[in-house]
């Protein structure tokens, strides 16, 4: 079963701000699912994002 992370958990892993993470999500650079008012990011999508080196684009 796939594990999902919150924006706060992704922030801890990537050392990016919550705003930058949400900007990446809005710009379809980081894949996420919106459940209610929260975004959830799968571990595999986060790994793909980290390996793609697109973090600089989101800042």
Q: Grade residue 1 by pLDDT with cuts at 50, 70 and 90.
A: confident
Residue 29 has a pLDDT of 93
pLDDT at 46 over 90: yes
Angle of helix 7-14 relative to helix 18-26, nearest 10 degrees? 110
* Domain region containing 40: 4-58
Domain count, the chain: 1
Residue 56 has a pLDDT of 63
């Amino acid at each position: 079963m796939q594990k999902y992370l919150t924006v706060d958990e992704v922030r801890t892993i990537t050392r990016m701000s919550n705003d930058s993470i949400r900007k990446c999500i809005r710009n379809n650079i980081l894949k996420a699912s919106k459940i209610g008012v929260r975004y959830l990011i799968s571990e595999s999508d986060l790994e793909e994002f980290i390996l793609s080196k697109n973090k600089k684009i989101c800042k």
